[in-house]
């Protein structure tokens, strides 16, 4: 029967994890994921801490006020145009060094589209995702990708995912934020390719340019 490898980044990782857990029972081969496995309150608190760290790191940067202003209205979005403006405004926050590579990244920022999506249930409570219990029973290999400087799905969440998933491999993009596939495209592509080949044919070995879950856990214990 055909097999598939699911790859999801950011919110797409929630989708990939959900399908790996609850759908496509006879069709899945592996899952590549990068998202916080925790519910909204914990994630929001960590994101708030990262906002403060970002502001301190870039204090005095001419572009910082625009980013902070956009972050400040995230919770008040209600229309497509407003959401697009906010997405473009906060984008430097998603990179390890946006302003250091602004000439290359500015066209990408200008092309960003972000339609407004209602994120609440009918009773106005948040649509929070928490698959931590299920992830402990994940039956397929998973590649956990995390950018060292990611402010949304950062190291805290990458390490937690790595600990939760029984057969996980951890790929840390050392010079990336949330957009590792743009910031370190070759390392990202090599890591995913190595993982897919390794899970399709285990003799091919572990993730290229990455570390296995066992390696990282052994390093932390040491």
DSSP-based three-state secondary structure for 171: strand
In a domain, 120, yes or no: no
For the stretch 82-136, pLDDT in tens is 999 999 999 999 999 999 999 999 999 999 999 998 767 677 776 677 788 888 9
Whole-number pLDDT of residue 53: 92
Question: For 32-58, what is the mean pLDDT?
Answer: 81
Judgement on whether residues 32 and 51 belong to the same structural domain of the protein? no
Assigned token pair, 31? 């899952």
Judgement on whether residues 107 and 173 belong to the same structural domain of the protein? no
105: domain range? 41-111
In a domain, 180, yes or no: yes
Angstrom distance (rounded) from CA 26 to CA 30:
12
Whole-number pLDDT of residue 202: 54
Where among 111, 144, 168 does a domain terminate? 111
Percent of the chain, pLDDT > 90? 49
How many domains is the chain partitioned into structurally? 2
Judgement on whether residues 134 and 92 belong to the same structural domain of the protein? no
Where among 49, 77, 111 does a domain terminate? 111
Judgement on whether residues 97 and 145 belong to the same structural domain of the protein? no
Assigned token pair, 8? 């999801």
In a domain, 45, yes or no: yes
pLDDT surpasses 50 at 222: no
In a domain, 122, yes or no: no
In a domain, 170, yes or no: yes
Helices (runs of H) and strands (runs of E) counted in the chain: 10, 5
Judgement on whether residues 59 and 160 belong to the same structural domain of the protein? no
Q: Grade residue 37 by pLDDT with cuts at 50, 70 and 90.
A: low
Angstrom distance (rounded) from CA 64 to CA 43:
23
- Answer yes or no: are the C-beta atoms of 71 and 51 closer than 8 Å: yes
Judgement on whether residues 161 and 134 belong to the same structural domain of the protein? yes
pLDDT surpasses 50 at 192: yes
- Would you say the C-alpha torsion 173, 188, 48, 36 has a positive or negative sign? negative
Where among 78, 111, 144 does a domain terminate? 111
- Answer yes or no: are the C-beta atoms of 165 and 193 closer than 8 Å: no
Judgement on whether residues 96 and 167 belong to the same structural domain of the protein? no
Q: Grade residue 18 by pLDDT with cuts at 50, 70 and 90.
A: confident
Whole-number pLDDT of residue 87: 95
In a domain, 119, yes or no: no
Q: Among the listed ranges 22-26, 48-52, 87-91, 164-168, which one has the minimum average pLDDT value? A: 22-26
């Amino acid at each position: 029967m055909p097999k598939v490898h699911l790859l999801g980044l950011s919110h797409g990782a929630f989708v990939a994890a959900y399908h790996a857990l609850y759908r496509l029972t006879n069709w899945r081969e592996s899952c590549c994921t990068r998202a916080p496995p925790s519910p909204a309150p914990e994630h929001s608190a960590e994101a708030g801490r990262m906002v403060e760290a970002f502001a301190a790191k870039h204090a005095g940067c001419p572009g910082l006020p625009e980013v902070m202003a956009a972050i400040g209205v995230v919770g008040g979005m209600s229309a497509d145009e407003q959401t697009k403006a906010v997405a473009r405004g906060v984008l430097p926050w998603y990179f390890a060094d946006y302003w250091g590579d602004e000439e290359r990244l500015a066209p990408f920022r200008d092309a960003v589209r972000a339609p407004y999506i209602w994120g609440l249930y009918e009773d106005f409570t948040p649509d929070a995702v928490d698959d931590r219990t299920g992830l402990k029973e994940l039956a397929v290999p998973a590649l956990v990708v995390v950018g060292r400087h990611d402010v949304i799905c950062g190291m805290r969440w990458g390490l937690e995912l790595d600990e939760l998933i029984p057969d996980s491999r951890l790929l840390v993009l050392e010079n990336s934020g949330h957009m590792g596939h743009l910031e370190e495209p070759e390392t990202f592509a090599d890591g995913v390719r190595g993982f897919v080949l390794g899970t399709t044919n285990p003799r091919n070995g572990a993730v290229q340019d990455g570390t296995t879950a066992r390696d990282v856990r052994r390093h932390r214990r040491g």
